[in-house]
Amino acid sequence: MTRRHAVVAGAGIGGLSAAVALHRRGWEVTVCERAAEPSAVGAGIVLAPNALRAYEAIGFDAARATGNATPAAMDLRRPGGRLLSRADAAALAARYGRPPLAVYRPALAAALTAELPEGTVRYGTAVTAVDDADGGPVVHTPAGALAPDLVIAADGIHSPIRRQYFPAHPGLHHSGETAWRTVLAAGGPPVRAAAETWGRGERFGVVPLADGRVYLYATALAPEGYRPADVRAELLRRYGTWHDPIPALLERIDPAAVLQHDLYDLAAPLPRFHRGRLAWLGDAAHAMTPNLGQGGCQAVEDAAVLAHLLEGAGVRAALAAYSAARHARTDSLRIRSRRAGRVAALRHPLAVAARDLAIRATPPRATRRALDGLFGGFVLPDHP
């Protein structure tokens, strides 16, 4: 029996997760990645309980593959250090079956790649176009054309395949913020809890990773394209007087290892996540701001649902079912993340004071309900 063949455009977390999910189900997979090699510089990602359940459905143990780094708690603080709220990891594990897992992105990508046959991932091979012919899709690359049974567009937030097939879509919406991300090597004082600190139009996050490494991220209101000449000086100016351990962590950063990106989401939802034998996944389908920490997690959910549906139906029927199953959830999180970002980025002193008071006054029951929609929302749909 001829094995079905899938081409995945993009070797990010979503694309690699989809490749592993399909490979585990007997598909031949080719992953085309435009970058010449895996990135040597990366950031962190917190795999929330919903993403870990999706990985279980795929058959991939993220904790065993990348190291088990579970922060003791996830705190929200003011720049002076005052605690606004806390989510205890043990309580999250009791409610959702597992606590969040903090992972170094390059380590996760390497672990996923190791699950695939050698040669599956082709670096330096960009997908330049996809023809959705009646007889099946044709994928064009500089190395030649491929004619698979299925194409997965996991080509990121600026997805060329999305632009090709949805030319009337308004594209990306700039949130008004820029973000810096970096990972510190092990060797400094240990960081036990993850924390995000909210100031006035600025935020700073600290997440302990496996092996003593620490993932740092920061956001600030800034014009689109803003790039400071001296990133260390910029970060120290903005966050150097905030509570411990932020100043000491900033002193340890390597400016060459700091990533900076403006924050975008889709200006409007795509009308659907499929066309014929072509499916969109992750940021290519539903790019969202990182305010809920769900961008990568939703890509993993996409991969699990897509592979699951392809087990019980033909490609076209499975992709239609995938689009129907994923559209409402991902778009609700896109909108919710945008709204959360607006609240976090408030800068007027009175608005900030009111926000912080509201957070401290929120009853635990309301907080649990909000987290239920994130962490408890992953389900595998019925086969079509």
Could you tell me what percent of the chain has a pLDDT over 90?
88
Instruction: For residue range 177-189, list pLDDT tens digits in order.
Output: 999 999 999 888 8
Greatest C-alpha distance within the chain:
68
Which of 168, 124, 158 has its CA nearest to residue 142? 124
Instruction: For residue range 225-281, list pLDDT tens digits in order.
Output: 999 999 999 999 999 999 999 999 999 999 999 999 999 999 999 999 999 999 999
The pTM (predicted TM-score) of the whole model is: 0.96
pLDDT of residue 359: 96
Is residue 31 within 8 A of residue 11, CB to CB? The reply is yes
pLDDT of residue 72: 84
Instruction: For residue range 99-134, list pLDDT tens digits in order.
Output: 999 999 999 999 999 999 999 999 999 999 999 877
Question: Residue 384: pLDDT band by 50, 70, 90 thresholds?
Answer: confident
Q: Tell whether the model's pLDDT for residue 135 goes beyond 80.
A: no
Instruction: For residue range 137-174, list pLDDT tens digits in order.
Output: 999 999 999 999 999 999 999 999 999 999 999 999 99
Q: Which is higher by pLDDT, 216 or 365? A: 216
Query: What's phi and psi for 317, nearest 5 deg?
Result: -65, -40
pLDDT of residue 351: 98
Cα(269)–Cα(266) distance, integer angstroms: 7
pLDDT of residue 53: 97
pLDDT of residue 1: 59
pLDDT of residue 163: 97
Is residue 177 within 8 A of residue 341, CB to CB? The reply is yes
pLDDT of residue 2: 78
Cα(112)–Cα(71) distance, integer angstroms: 23
Is residue 60 within 8 A of residue 20, CB to CB? The reply is yes
Q: Tell whether the model's pLDDT for residue 41 goes beyond 80.
A: no
